[in-house]
A = this chain, B = another copy of it.
Amino acid sequence: MHKTTVIENIHSRKSVRKYTEEKVSDEDLLILVKAGMAAPTGKNRQPWHFITVVSRETLDIMAEELPYAKMLHNVSAAIVVCGDVERSPYWFLDCSVASQNILLAAEASGFGAVWTAAYPYEDRMGVVRKCLNLPDNIMPLNVIPVGYPAGAEKPKDKWDETKLHKDKW
C-alpha cells in the first residue's frame, strides 16, 4: 500500500506550468523545503541552501528576465535551490537530488511545480544571483515555481526498454 502510493506518486509527477490563482501557504512551502533537506549528499556535506520567494516584485522580475520562467508571473511562491561551491564542488548533484524531493513532495501535496534551470547557464544564474543577492560562492541550480495546477498537464510515459541493460552493455 505504502509502496504503491510512493511509486504512483513518482509516476504521476509532471512538470506543471499553468496554475490557478490559489496561493500556496508558508506552511506548505516549509514542508517542501524540509523534503529537499532530507536528500542524501556526497560525503554528507549538505552543500545546499533553499530560498523561498514570495515577493511579488521578485517573482515578476525573475519572470521577465529568465527565458523559460514566464510562469513565475502566475504563482505566489517559488523555491530556488542553491549550492555552496566552497562546501562541495559537486553541489549540483546533491542539489539535483534535493530538487527531486521537492518536486515529488509538491506532487503529493497537490501542487504543480516545474524545474526551470539556472545552472549551468551563466546568464540565467546571473539573473537569479542579482535578484536574490547571492554571495559569490552560492550557485543557483534552478527556480521551482509552486502553485495549484490548472489541470492541463499530464505525466509523460518515458519508459524505454532499450535503456535498460542486464549485467553488461
Give A residues with C-beta under 8 Å from B: 2-3, 5-7, 9-11, 13, 15, 30-31, 33-35, 37-40, 42, 44, 46, 48-55, 58, 90, 92-93, 96-97, 99-101, 103-105, 107-110, 114-115, 117, 119-120, 132-135, 138, 155-156, 158-160, 163-169
Contacts and interface: CB of A to CB of B under 8 A. Distances in A.
30 contacts: A3-B108, A3-B109, A5-B108, A7-B31, A7-B109, A10-B35, A10-B38, A11-B34, A33-B164, A40-B103, A40-B114, A46-B163, A48-B163, A49-B165, A49-B169, A51-B168, A52-B167, A53-B167, A54-B167, A55-B167, A90-B120, A92-B93, A92-B96, A96-B96, A97-B97, A97-B99, A97-B100, A101-B104, A134-B169, A138-B169
B10 A158 contact: no
Contacts of A37: 158-160, 163
B100 A7 contact: no
Nearest to A31: B7
Main secondary structure, interface of A, reads mixed
Contacts of A168: 51, 58, 132-133
Contact of A50 (B7, B138, B163): B163
Contacts of A51: 164-169
Given A96-B93, A97-B99, A6 B165 contact: no
Contacts of A48: 163
